[in-house]
Structure formats: structure tokens, C-alpha cells
Structure 1
């Protein structure tokens, strides 16, 4: 039931306003979820949205990654619902520490 994720593709939540763009994707088929529901291709017709998810919020402009950073998503429209790849919650990517220039 998974989808082949590829860089540049866009997805939208079936249950909220969240929209993401794939920056980096792992090989193989994966299931991308938002608020517990599978995300749809950005050009897919929206299904009737159920109650807004209560498992968190996705923030616009933030990058979300899985534990090994093989998947990276850029949130292009924020909203209710946490992002998941299969059974793994995605976290906000932390900025890398730059060396001090003193």
C-alpha cells in the first residue's frame, strides 16, 4: 500500500491543511502519513476530511526527517497532524552547528 517517494514530489494530508514536498527520499515503497491518515498526491481529489487529528502539528517552512535522515520533507503548508513514515514519527530537522569564526 506504499508509494514510491521521489524528490520534488508533493503530498497533501487527507485530514488537514498540511502539504509537504519531498526533498530526499529512501529507495522502495513507503507509506507517508499525516494525522494517522495516508497522505495524497498533491493533485489528487481531496477526500471528505474527518475530524482534525490531535497528534500534533506540522509547521510551515520546517524540514522533517526520519531517524537516519534517509527521508527529508519540507512543509509547504502547515496544519494539524504529525508526519509519519510507516510506523516512525518524523522529527523537525535540527540546524547543523557551524564552526565558530573567532
Structure 2
């Protein structure tokens, strides 16, 4: 059984150069976080990131959230493959609108 992700966890893709940090995670669910259909592994024990020749599926510096906004990941290294959580695709989080400063 997979452990639930915790804020601060650093994850790496097993098949691409994608790396993420967990910003927010639900405490009661242990669904797998995947990149390109393969479960992500702890970044600390991950082998050197392979180079990706294909277009990026993840974008560095972008935050990815699930449909319920309970999981949030920050991409720290771009790579091929799309991020999913429990089999559901993650979307890029929309930026917050700042108030006008008149």
C-alpha cells in the first residue's frame, strides 16, 4: 500500500526528467502520483534524470492541481509525460488575480 504524499516530499519520474515537490496533499488518501503512467519515486533515491528529446509534458515552475484542488505539486524540472493523481490528470493551476493598485 502506498503512503499518502506529504507537503515537502520531492518526487522524480522514473522514465523522464520530471521532478516535483508536493505543496499540498490530502491527508486521508494514498492514491499514486504518476508521470507518464508510471508511479513517481522519491527524488532522493532516484537515478540521474534521463534527458528528454520529446516535447515536455510538464513545465518547470508551474503548479499542478487535481480536480478537487486537494493536491498541489510544483514542477522543479520539466520532462516528458503528463502528471496524474489516482488515475486523474492534473491541470496547471491558474494564477491568482491581483487587486488593482490605483
Same fold (TM over 0.5): yes
Q: Encode CA deviations 1:35-80: one digit per residue, 9 max, x unaligned.
A: 010000112243xx8xx7x8x6100000000011110000011110
Unaligned segments of structure 1, at least 5 residues: none
Unaligned segments of structure 2, at least 5 residues: none
Distance 2:46 2:87 in 1: 25
Distance 2:36 2:7 in 1: 22
User: What TM-score do you get using the length of structure 1 for normalisation?
Assistant: 0.84
**Against the structure 1 CA distance between its residues 61 and 30, is the aligned structure 2 distance closer, same or farther, given a 3 Å change threshold?**
same
Distance 1:29 1:22 in 2: 13
Equivalences, count: 97
Name the structure 1 match of 2:37.
Answer: 36
Higher strand share: 1
User: What TM-score do you get using the length of structure 2 for normalisation?
Assistant: 0.84
Name the structure 1 match of 2:65.
Answer: 65
Distance 1:15 1:3 in 2: 21
